[in-house]
Structure 1
Amino acid sequence: MEAFLVSTGVVALGEMGDKTQLLAIVLAAAFRRPWPIVAGIFVATIVNHAAAGAVGGWAAQVMGPDLLRWVIGISFLAMAGWMLIPDKIDDEDLAQRSRFGVFGTTVIAFFLAEMGDKTQIATVALAARYAQVVQVVIGTTLGMMLANVPAVFLGGKIAQKVSMRVVHAVAAIIFGVLGLLTLFNVGRLF
């Protein structure tokens, strides 16, 4: 249960203000059809995070516990720093993909935007850290949905009321704490 809860929380916070959340807002404004956008986000996320979880699970088996602890700890600390860098999206890419319809455009745009993104890398690290890869993938997918579904329905209003700097700072602190806890081998993680 810990793997699921931590994965959900970390990704939900990490996604706030992320380029894929900005993409959700842009898609909602461009297409004004929220349900196909939500479905596209879900499909793209589950496929992307399942692959990331598989990579994380594989890394946990290949590396010994000591090397894995250092790699994951440093990865989380790097994620903490990365959270402080604002994301942007490329409107030209979105316009080129619109020929695939709302759902198809969302799946393609989200899948590609998520490649190498903070939340995908976090999914790899979380899957390597916890033995319950399925719980991690379900948790990270739920975290993405918790952050992006409201963005699709309320995008403009949310952006005006929530300080992304504060959200990013909180997420950076959480990633930093997870990194330090991992490096110092605190808890029942390994």
Structure 2
Amino acid sequence: MEAFLVSTGLVALAEIGDKTQLLAFLLAARFRKPLPICLGILIATLVNHAGAGALGSWITALLSPGTLRWVLGLGFVAMAIWTLIPDQIDDEVEGGKGLKLGVLGTTIVAFFLAEMGDKTQVATVALAARFDALVAVVAGTTLGMMIANVPAVLLGDRIAHKIPLRLVHGLAAMIFGILGVATLLGAGASLGF
């Protein structure tokens, strides 16, 4: 349960103001069809985060407990710093320009591509390695993505200007930092790393 809750909370916070949330705003404004956009976000996130979680689980099996502790600890600290850097939408994923896939297909492709190498995908790898609970982590990170992005789709830019992004990013960075320092100091040693 801890893996699910931590994954959900971290990704929901980290996603606020992220390029995929900005993409959700753009898709909502462009298509004005919230149901297929939300379904596309869900499908793309499940596929992307399942792969990232599987990578995290594989890394757990590959590295020694001591090495894994340092990799994860430093990874979480790096995530804390990365969270403080504002995102911009990459041109190649903005609304799926040039694709004739419909609203659902455009959303799936755009979100999948936007998540490649994104901090929430990297966080999914690290969380799956940290907790060694693939299903709980993928379910949690996916729920976190939906918590952050569904309101973006449903409410559009009516709420975009009212969210204190610096505060939210600061909270997410603080949580990533705490996880990193705790891991480096040996938290989770009872779990084998």
Moved over 6 A (4+): none
The Cα shift of 1:75 comes to: 0.5
Distance, in Å, in 2 between the alignment partners of 1:57 and 1:95 is 31
**TM-score (normalizing by structure 1):** 0.96
Mapped contact 1:97–1:105 kept (Cα < 8 A):
no
Q: Which amino acid aligns with 1:61?
A: A
The Cα shift of 1:92 comes to: 6.0
Q: In the TM superposition, what are the counterparts of 1:34-183 in structure 2 within 5 Å?
A: 34-90=34-90, 93=93, 94=95, 96-183=97-184
Mapped contact 2:96–2:107 kept (Cα < 8 A):
no
Distance, in Å, in 2 between the alignment partners of 1:114 and 1:148 is 13
The number of equivalent residue pairs is: 190
Q: Deviations over 1:101-140 (max 9, x none)?
A: 1000000000000000000000000000012111000000
Percent of aligned positions that are identical: 64
Question: Runs of 5+ in structure 2 lacking a partner?
Answer: none
Distance, in Å, in 2 between the alignment partners of 1:99 and 1:84 is 35
The Cα shift of 1:98 comes to: 4.4
In 2 relative to 1, CA 137–92 (structure 1 residues): closer, same or farther, beyond 3 Å?
Answer: closer
- Two-structure CA RMSD over aligned residues (Å): 1.3
The Cα shift of 1:64 comes to: 0.8
Distance, in Å, in 1 between the alignment partners of 2:91 and 2:25 is 12
Q: Deviations over 1:136-187 (max 9, x none)?
A: 0000000000000001001212211111111111100010001001110125
The Cα shift of 1:91 comes to: 5.1
The Cα shift of 1:95 comes to: 5.0
Q: What secondary structure is seen at the aligned counterpart in 2 of 1:140?
A: helix
The Cα shift of 1:50 comes to: 0.2
Mapped contact 2:96–2:109 kept (Cα < 8 A):
no
**TM-score (normalizing by structure 2):** 0.95
Distance, in Å, in 1 between the alignment partners of 2:90 and 2:71 is 31
Distance, in Å, in 2 between the alignment partners of 1:14 and 1:184 is 23
Mapped contact 1:97–1:109 kept (Cα < 8 A):
no
Mapped contact 1:56–1:126 kept (Cα < 8 A):
yes
Distance, in Å, in 1 between the alignment partners of 2:28 and 2:84 is 25
Q: Which amino acid aligns with 2:180?
A: G
Distance, in Å, in 2 between the alignment partners of 1:138 and 1:6 is 11
